[in-house]
A and B are shown apart, each in its own frame.
Chain A
Amino acid sequence: MKERRFVRELLESKQRILVLSFVVGIMFLFLIIRLWHLQILNAVDYNTMSENNRLRFVPVAASRGAIMDRKGKVLVSNRPSFSLAVVPQEVVDKEALLTLLSNLLGLDRAEMAERWEKNKNRAKYYPIVLASNITRDHVEIIEENRLRLPGIEIEMKPVREYSSKQLAAHLLGYIGEVSEKELNLKGFEEYNPGDYVGKNGIERALEMELHGGDGGRQLEVDARGRVLRTISETYPSVGNSVVLTIDADIQKQAERAFGEQAGAAVVMDVNNGEILAFVSNPGFDPSLFSGKLPADVWQGYLDDARHPLENKALSGQYPPGSTFKIITALSGFQNNISNETTSINCSGSYDLGTSTFKCWNKRGHGTTNLRKSLRESCDVFYYQLGEKLGVDKIAATAQAFKLGTPLGVELLNERSGLIPTTEWKMKRFGKRWYHGESLPVAIGQGAVLLTPIQLASMTATLANEGTIYRPHLVKRIVDTDGKTLKETKKDVIGMVSLSKESFRFVKQGLLAVVNESGGTGSMARLYDVKVAGKTGTSQVVKLRDSRKSTPYQYRDHALFVAFAPFENPEVAVAVVVEHGEHGGAAAAPIAGRILRAYFDEKKPPRKESTYSSGEIDEDEINDNNEGTISKESGKNEDSVNDR
C-alpha cells in the first residue's frame, strides 16, 4: 500500500514537471514579446532617444588647494582660464565656422580642425575643446559675435597660478594631465583621464590633500544641446591648502645669492627640522608645464648643462668633501682615538704603503691640532685619523647621524646618499676593502655621497648637539576656511650618543673656520651674528693641477655647511655650488647671504637680541591660527625675556 502511494506520488510529480515546463515557457514568451515590443515595434523611437539622449552629466572640477609659505604668503593658487569649445550638434556649417573663428581670433585653423576630428566619435552634445588658454580679449570677441557663432561655448576652469614666478619651482612642482600609469596607482581610484594632478614637488607629494573632490551636474538639455534645467548637482569640494615651513623671503634671497650658478641649498631650523628654504638653481617656470610647453623652452631646459629641471636639493648626491671632516672628527672622539689635544705634523702629504695622499696645501700646515685642522681644512690630519679609525668606524658615526638613508622629507624620490663600508664594497663589487681606501673617505671623497638635505641635517644635529629631527616642508594643512586640519609636529628620528664636549670641540673648530684668520670660510662671516661653518671642495674627477682650463662639467663642487648663532644655534645651512671649484670662495658667500637674510627676516629692528627659535615658532603658529599677525608683540615679549 505504502509502496503504491509512493509510486503514484512519483508519477504525479512527473506530470507536474510538464506543467512547470509549460509555465516556464509562458514566462519566457512574455520576455520575448516584451523584447519584440521594444526592439522591433518601438526601435525607431528608442533609437532617436539614444541618439539625442537628453540627459547629460557635466563634471565640475574641484578647485585645487593653495600652497602658502610659513607666513601665509600665497605661492600657488588658481586663476580662471578660458577655453573655446564647440558643441557639434548645434553647428550648421563646420568649415565656415572654423574659418570665421580663425579670422576673428587669429587662431590656427588646422589645429582646431584636428582637435575636432579627433573627438568626432563622441556624443554630439558633448563640447569639444578647440583651443585652451584663450585670452580675455578672445572671450570678448566671441561674446560680441555670439550670434554668428552657433555651437561655440566658452568654458571656464581654474588653472594654477604661481604668484612668485619661478620661486621655489622645484619644491612646489607643477601639475599636468594624469597619466595612464598614475591612474593605476593606489589612491587614484577616483581619477579620470583628463584630470589634472600634481606631477612633481609638493603638488605631487600632497596631491591627495590639494586635489579636493570633483562634483558634477546632471543636466537635461534640449535637442540643440541647450541646458533646460539642472536635475541634480553635487558640488565639488575645494582641496585643502598646504602651509609650508618655507619662508618665501629667505627662499628668494637664497635663490638670488646663487645668481647664475648651478647648485642647491637647504636651510633648516636646528630645533625642529623645519626647512626654511629649499633651493635648486637654476629654476624653471612651473606655469609653463600646466599648459602646452613651448618646444624651444623645453629644448632650452634640456640643453642647459646646469640641468634646470633637476631638483638638486632633493635628488642631487654629492661627495661632501671636507664638510665630512665633521663626521670623521666626531668619530675620532667616539672611538677614543683622538681628542682636542691630538696633534700631528702636516708636511703637505701623507704616505701609506706605496701610495702618497696629498693635502690640498702642498706646503703643509705644520703642527696641526683638531681646531687648526678644521679651521684650515688640513687633509693630512684626517688621513691619519681615517687610517686609525678605518672605514667602518667612520661609517658608524655617519650612520648615527642618519646619513646614507633618506630622512623622510615629504617629497617623493628622496635619495639616500651613500656611506661606504667594507660590507657595502663586498656586496657591490665583490671585493674586499683596502685599508688605503679609508683615507679618502675620511675627507669625504671616495664613494661618500650626501644629499643637500643630509648635509643640512648633519649640520643641524651638530649644532643642537645630537638630536636628529625629521626634515620637513609642510607646516600644516588647512581647509578653505583656514581651519587647521593637520599640523606637523617635530619628529625626533634619532639621537647621536656623543659627549657634549666632543660636539663643542668640533663646533669651536667650525667657529674658527669662519671667524679666525687662516680660516677657509671667512666669506660667510656676519658682523652681528657668530657663524660657524665648514668648507668643502669635492672632486668630480681626479685632475692634474692646471685648473684654469678645466671644462665646466669636470670642475670641483664647492660646498659649505654652517649654523648660527654659535652660542644658541637656530638655523643650519647647507650650500652646494655645482662645479663652483672652491667651497670657501663659491659656497661660503652664498651661505653668508642666506644667513644674512635669515637674521634680517627674524628681527628687522633689533639685530643684537638672540633668542631661541622654538618660542618664535609657537608665536607664529598662534598668529596664523587667529588669522591676525601680531608679530610685533611676539617679538617684544621675546626680547624682554632675553634681557
Chain B
Amino acid sequence: MIDRRLLTNIDWVLLGLVTTVCLLGILNIYSATTPYKVIGTAYYLKQFYWMLVGMMISLIVCSLDYHILEDLSYWFYGLLLFLLVGVLLFGRRSMGATRWLNLGLFNIQPSELMKLVIILTFARFFNNFQAVGGLTVRDVLIPLSLLVLPAALIMKQPDLGTATLVILIAFSMVMYVGLRWSTIVTFVCITIPMGWVGWTSLLRPYQKNRVLDFLNPERARLGSGYHIIQSKIAVGSGGITGKGFVKGTQSQLRFLPEQHTDFAFSVFAEEWGFIGCIILIGIYLSLILWGLNIARRCNDRFGGLLAVGVTAMLFWHIVINMGMVIGLFPVVGVPLPFFSYGGTSMITSMVGIGLLQNISMRRFMF
C-alpha cells in the first residue's frame, strides 16, 4: 500500500515530537490518577493503548495519498452535517449536553470529527479559489456559510469549546489564504454587535458563568471559578523546579478538577515547575512550527492548506488548554493534544498528525 520510496521520507522530527509529548502525557496521567480509585485497567495504561491505536490510525491515514481526500471532502462535510443533526435529534445525553451518537457498534462524537472535516472542506474550497491580493468580503461569504452551519449545530449541543475551535481553525486557514484590509474592517464592524446578540441570547447560563468567572475568579469560589483558583494555586506553587513526580499536593489531595483530562497540564506544572513547563511548551512550539514548515515546503496548494489547518487545530487546542489552566482563558472543555487523558482527543489529533506526515512524505512528488 505504501510506496517504498515514501518510507524513506518519513518525517522523523514530527514522529519524534509527537511520541515525546505522548510519553510525557502518560507519565503525567500516572501521577494525576494516583489518588483515584481505579476500576479495571489503570488510566495511564489505557492512555498508552490509545496512543498505540492513534499511531496505527495515523499510519493508515498517511498511507493513502491525501489528494484522494480532496474529492471526498464535500461528501465528508455533508455526512458530518447529517450526523450533527442526528446528534441533536437522537443523541445520547450525558452531563447536560448531547454530544454522542450511538451508531450501534460504537459511539461517535461528530463535533470532534467536524474539526478535521472543516479543515478538508476549507482546503478544498480555497484550492480552487484564486484570491490575488487577498479575499474580498464577497469571496468570504461562501466559506462563512460553510462554517456557520456546523458551528451553530455544535453550539446547540451545547459544546462551546468545540464550536470555538472549529471557528478558530477555519479562521486560521482564511488568514493563511489572505484577507484584504477592507474585509477585515468590515468583519470587525459586523462581529461586535453580533457578539452582543450572541451573549444575550445564544450562550447558556453556565457558559456565561464561565466567562464571568474567568473575568473575576473570586465571583464564585466553588463554581467554575473554583477550578481556576485551584489550578492557578497548583501551577504557581510548582515554582521553578516543581514539587516532584507524584508529590504535587494540589493534585494528590484532589483539589484539582478533572486533573487527568482537561487540567492535566496543571498537575504537570505543579510537579515539574517552570523548567518542566518550558520544556513541554518548547516541544509543542517545535511541533507547531514544524507543522507550518511542512505547509511551507509543500508545493501544492491543497497540501499547504491542509497542513496549515491541522497545525491550527493543534495550536488552538494547546493555547486554549494551557491558557485555561494558567488563568488566561475561561474554562472550556478543551483537552491538551497527546497529553490529556482520553481516546477521542488522541485519535483526532493522531489523524491530524497522519495528514501532516502524509503531506511531508510526498513533498518531493511535485
Q: Is A36 an interface residue (CB 8 A)?
A: yes
Number of interface residues of B (CB under 8 A): 54
Please provide the chain B residues from 267 to 297 with a CB less than 8 Å away from any CB of chain A in the complex.
269-270, 273-274, 277-278, 281, 284-285, 288-289, 292-293, 295-296
Please provide the chain B residues from 187 to 241 with a CB less than 8 Å away from any CB of chain A in the complex.
221-222, 226, 230, 232-240
The residue in chain B whose Cβ has the minimal distance to the Cβ of A49 is: B233
**Does A13 contact B235, Cβ atoms closer than 8 Å?**
no
Please provide the chain A residues from 4 to 33 with a CB less than 8 Å away from any CB of chain B in the complex.
5-6, 8-10, 12-14, 16-18, 20-21, 24-25, 27-28, 30-32
* Of the residues A27, A47, A122, A183, contact of B239 by C-beta under 8 Å: A47
Chain A residues with CB under 8 Å of B66's CB are: none
Please provide the chain B residues from 251 to 275 with a CB less than 8 Å away from any CB of chain A in the complex.
253, 255, 269-270, 273-274
Q: Is A355 an interface residue (CB 8 A)?
A: no
* Of the residues B177, B230, B315, B326, contact of A38 by C-beta under 8 Å: B326
Q: Chain A contact residues (Cβ within 8 angstroms of B): what range?
A: 35 or more
Chain A residues with CB under 8 Å of B255's CB are: 50, 53, 55
Q: In the complex, A46→B295 CA distance in Å?
A: 41
**Does B237 contact A232, Cβ atoms closer than 8 Å?**
no
Given contact pairs A18-B296, A31-B319, a sample of 4 additional A-B residue pairs in the complex whose CB atoms are under 8 Å apart: A35-B281, A38-B232, A47-B236, A49-B236
Q: In the complex, A24→B292 CA distance in Å?
A: 10
The secondary structure that dominates the A interface is helix
**Does B250 contact A17, Cβ atoms closer than 8 Å?**
no
> What are 5 residue pairs bridging A and B, where the CB atoms are less than 8 Å apart in the complex?
A16-B176, A17-B295, A24-B292, A28-B319, A50-B250
Chain B residues with CB under 8 Å of A28's CB are: 281, 284-285, 288, 319
Q: Is B37 an interface residue (CB 8 A)?
A: yes
**Does A13 contact B177, Cβ atoms closer than 8 Å?**
yes
Give the shortest distance, in Å, between B155 (CB) and chain A (any CB). Answer: 24
* Of the residues A16, A20, A35, A55, contact of B235 by C-beta under 8 Å: A35
Q: In the complex, A40→B240 CA distance in Å?
A: 6
Chain A residues with CB under 8 Å of B304's CB are: 10, 13
Chain B residues with CB under 8 Å of A231's CB are: 221-222
Q: Is A34 an interface residue (CB 8 A)?
A: yes
Chain A residues with CB under 8 Å of B362's CB are: none
Chain A residues with CB under 8 Å of B176's CB are: 13, 16-17, 20
The residue in chain A whose Cβ has the minimal distance to the Cβ of B289 is: A21
Give the shortest distance, in Å, between A6 (CB) and chain B (any CB). Answer: 8
The residue in chain B whose Cβ has the minimal distance to the Cβ of A50 is: B237
Residues of A bordering B, CB below 8 Å:
5-6, 8-10, 12-14, 16-18, 20-21, 24-25, 27-28, 30-32, 34-36, 38-40, 42-43, 45-47, 49-51, 53, 55, 122-123, 183-184, 189, 191-193, 218, 220, 231-232
Q: Is B78 an interface residue (CB 8 A)?
A: no
Q: In the complex, A615→B172 CA distance in Å?
A: 79
Q: In the complex, A301→B21 CA distance in Å?
A: 58
**Does A46 contact B301, Cβ atoms closer than 8 Å?**
no
* Of the residues B40, B175, B232, B281, contact of A31 by C-beta under 8 Å: B281
Q: Is B346 an interface residue (CB 8 A)?
A: no
Please provide the chain B residues from 315 to 349 with a CB less than 8 Å away from any CB of chain A in the complex.
315, 319, 322-323, 326-328
**Does B130 contact A50, Cβ atoms closer than 8 Å?**
no
Q: In the complex, A183→B39 CA distance in Å?
A: 8
**Does A46 contact B285, Cβ atoms closer than 8 Å?**
no
**Does B274 contact A10, Cβ atoms closer than 8 Å?**
no
Q: Is B132 an interface residue (CB 8 A)?
A: yes
**Does B253 contact A53, Cβ atoms closer than 8 Å?**
yes
Chain B residues with CB under 8 Å of A50's CB are: 233-234, 236-237, 249-250, 255, 270
Report which residue of A8, A34, A35, A183 has the largest number of chain B beta carbons within 10 angstroms of its beta carbon. A35
Report which residue of B39, B237, B288, B289 has the largest number of chain A beta carbons within 10 angstroms of its beta carbon. B237
Q: Is B308 an interface residue (CB 8 A)?
A: yes
Chain A residues with CB under 8 Å of B249's CB are: 50-51, 53, 123
Give the shortest distance, in Å, between B252 (CB) and chain A (any CB). Answer: 9
Q: In the complex, A12→B304 CA distance in Å?
A: 12
**Does A43 contact B39, Cβ atoms closer than 8 Å?**
no
**Does B328 contact A34, Cβ atoms closer than 8 Å?**
yes
**Does B235 contact A38, Cβ atoms closer than 8 Å?**
yes
Report which residue of B131, B226, B281, B285 has the largest number of chain A beta carbons within 10 angstroms of its beta carbon. B285
* Of the residues A35, A36, A47, contact of B237 by C-beta under 8 Å: A47
The 10 closest A-B pairs by CB, nearest first: A46-B236, A50-B237, A43-B239, A38-B236, A39-B274, A17-B296, A46-B237, A47-B237, A49-B233, A28-B285
Knowing A17-B292, A39-B273, A123-B253, say if A46 contacts B232 (CB, 8 Å): yes
**Does A20 contact B292, Cβ atoms closer than 8 Å?**
yes
Please provide the chain B residues from 126 to 168 with a CB less than 8 Å away from any CB of chain A in the complex.
130-132
Q: In the complex, A158→B105 CA distance in Å?
A: 47
Q: Is B178 an interface residue (CB 8 A)?
A: yes
Q: In the complex, A288→B328 CA distance in Å?
A: 56
Report which residue of B221, B236, B274, B296 has the largest number of chain A beta carbons within 10 angstroms of its beta carbon. B236
Q: In the complex, A361→B139 CA distance in Å?
A: 111
